[in-house]
Structure 1
């Protein structure tokens, strides 16, 4: 999974996204209207916040997405969505960490469409009305709200030193990553392992092997966004963040290898960010670490590769 590859050879990565999405659709699926509502109500409210961990946004702001359907603070909705966080001191053999790994039913996952088809569909907040008309969504529907928030989030300006983009197809994702890593560079893709026939629930996980730090020069995290077809929000920042692969075993006997990241410098983060309250720390006082859900991708170049 972590081996280097030539970006022009995308077969293995098609297989990877097939495992995540369950279907590499060659045309926009008719069930797109049904696919967006369940991910919006479930995924978007439960595990979406971690992808904004290094964005300086007030968690009470509706754009932040801590609780998209209400005006409550993030503390009202962190029962599951924030159970991806842990302290860097927890990364040691035998340590128990309470975590929640959400899993979405394949019927509730938006499908990939080819680049040539994605380019025919507007993807801009300035075309919101046309997009809603195209998918036959009303302005006040939950699907419309999900679309608007995804478009708005994709159009947020990057932080200082950050590169970000939203990919509406696998081809466009790889093309953009190739430009960012540098033409001719090799990079790898990593994920938390997929587990079949697994009913997700919050539980204690024990670290059963010494955590393995993955040495990378640059990385980009790509997170699925609620949309009628598959859209990934990808971002990366020059920093001293640390990437780990952590072997875990749950109380129910479930074993998996979880990809985790530790944000080493949080001094520029919003002091009101909910992660500080969850971990009981202050901005810049300690790293913020979190695991990646299974449908998230991390692309990384090894030392000596990339710009």
Structure 2
């Protein structure tokens, strides 16, 4: 399969939980947040923050629980409580070196994760690290691949078996020319995403 795997650039870092908890995280407090972080109102950065806050405040889709983690401790707590165990594994896609864009990869190994209940955390656009985390029921796999140039990749693949509650505008439906709830959708989460799974 042909994939475009780009090594993630260094993004925002997590604040310690105490520091993150001392800063408001609500769209109603945006002027105060901008002032505390010395960010100009109406700037591109301020607009990105507003969008992140609004996304974090939207209700979860049916059957999911969601949470925006502003510290690594908060992410671990949400993931372990959602999965019902502290014995978890955090997985993400890793690439051993810079690879050319849209390279052909051969799959060398596929290993199914032991549980279909997962927590997936996606990085958000914010001055410090914020991850949008949500529970999902998916079949997930660890996938080892080798690129045409020898690049080694350890990826996570998630297959959503029930897409009934998904947004009909989700890009996968357009690419595959299908409707929500008709077929499973499989994808590689972005490299900045973290997939939490019970480690049995």
TM-score (norm. length: structure 1) = 0.60
C-alpha separation between the residues in 2 aligned to 1:283 and 1:159?
Answer: 13
Structure 1 residue 185 displacement after superposition: 4.2
Q: Residue 65 of structure 2: SS of its match in structure 1?
A: strand
C-alpha separation between the residues in 2 aligned to 1:246 and 1:266?
Answer: 22
Structure 1 residue 279 displacement after superposition: 1.8
Task: Assess if the C-alpha contact under 8 Å between 1:186 and 1:301 holds in 2.
Answer: yes
Summarize the alignment of residues 213-292 of structure 1 with structure 2, pairs less than 5 Å apart.
Answer: 213-237=112-136, 239=137, 241-292=138-189
C-alpha separation between the residues in 1 aligned to 2:66 and 2:155?
Answer: 24
C-alpha separation between the residues in 1 aligned to 2:26 and 2:191?
Answer: 27
1:171 aligns with 2:73: yes
Change (3 A) 1:260 1:111: same
1:187 aligns with 2:88: yes
Structure 1 residue 165 displacement after superposition: 0.4
Per-residue CA deviations over 1:123-156 (Å, capped at 9, x if unaligned) read 1111111111222222221111111111111111
C-alpha separation between the residues in 2 aligned to 1:112 and 1:258?
Answer: 23
Structure 2 residues without counterparts, runs of 5 or longer: none
C-alpha separation between the residues in 1 aligned to 2:162 and 2:60?
Answer: 17
1:110 aligns with 2:7: no
1:132 aligns with 2:34: yes
Q: CA RMSD in A?
A: 1.9
C-alpha separation between the residues in 2 aligned to 1:194 and 1:101?
Answer: 8
C-alpha separation between the residues in 2 aligned to 1:231 and 1:200?
Answer: 29
Out of 204, 211, 227, the residue aligned to residue 104 of structure 2 is 204
Structure 1 residue 169 displacement after superposition: 0.7
Q: Residue 156 of structure 2: SS of its match in structure 1?
A: strand
In the other structure, the counterpart of 1:144 is 46
> Which of the two has greater helix per residue?
1
Task: Assess if the C-alpha contact under 8 Å between 1:103 and 1:200 holds in 2.
Answer: no
C-alpha separation between the residues in 1 aligned to 2:22 and 2:5?
Answer: 35
Structure 1 residues without counterparts, runs of 5 or longer: 1-96
Change (3 A) 1:121 1:235: same
C-alpha separation between the residues in 2 aligned to 1:234 and 1:200?
Answer: 30
Structure 1 residue 302 displacement after superposition: 4.8
In the other structure, the counterpart of 2:4 is 100
Structure 1 residue 257 displacement after superposition: 1.3
TM-score (norm. length: structure 2) = 0.90
Task: Assess if the C-alpha contact under 8 Å between 1:217 and 1:301 holds in 2.
Answer: no
